[in-house]
């Protein structure tokens, strides 16, 4: 069972910033695409951002384009999500995910982190 470990969640005011980090075992990190999903209370879990194993391609959901930036540090087996200009609707549990495929759906994810809560106060 692979272990993805998230950190960096917390409470922030509207317009503030947070950076989420996720570490993974080297054998996972070097061969898998990495991404972030989020799930708000009573809603589905959806992909927010993703990055290929090489870092050569990135994906952002429309709702976060221009505000969130995903990056990966292959020397530290870490993927980061820099979130700026946060809005109350960004409030959710954020999950790190890994997949060896090219589809970013919940069913296609191979490994999940336990999640980290981000709360944006209005």
Q: What is the DSSP string of 67-94?
A: TEEEEEETTTTEEEEEE-S--GGG-EEE
Phi-psi region of 85 (alpha: psi -120 to 50; beta: other; left: phi over 0): left
Phi-psi region of 76 (alpha: psi -120 to 50; beta: other; left: phi over 0): alpha
Output the pLDDT for position 28: 75
Output the pLDDT for position 7: 95
| pLDDT tens, position by position, 26-51 | 877 888 999 999 999 999 999 999 99
**Average of per-residue pLDDT values in the chain:** 94
The per-residue pLDDT string of the chain (122 residues; one tens digit each, 9 = 90 and over) reads 668 999 999 999 999 999 999 999 887 788 899 999 999 999 999 999 999 988 899 999 999 999 999 999 988 999 999 999 999 999 999 999 999 987 889 999 999 999 999 999 99
């Amino acid at each position: 069972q692979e272990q993805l470990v998230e950190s960096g969640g917390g409470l922030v005011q509207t317009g503030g910033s947070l950076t989420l980090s996720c570490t993974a075992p080297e054998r996972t990190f070097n061969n898998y695409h990495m991404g972030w999903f989020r799930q708000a209370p009573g809603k589905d879990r959806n992909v927010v951002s993703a990055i290929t194993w090489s870092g050569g391609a990135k994906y952002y959901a429309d709702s976060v384009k221009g505000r969130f930036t995903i990056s990966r540090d292959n020397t530290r087996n870490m993927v980061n999500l820099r979130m700026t200009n946060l809005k109350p609707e960004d409030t959710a549990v954020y999950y790190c995910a890994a997949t060896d495929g090219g589809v970013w759906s919940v069913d296609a994810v191979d490994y999940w982190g336990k999640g980290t809560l981000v709360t944006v106060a209005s």
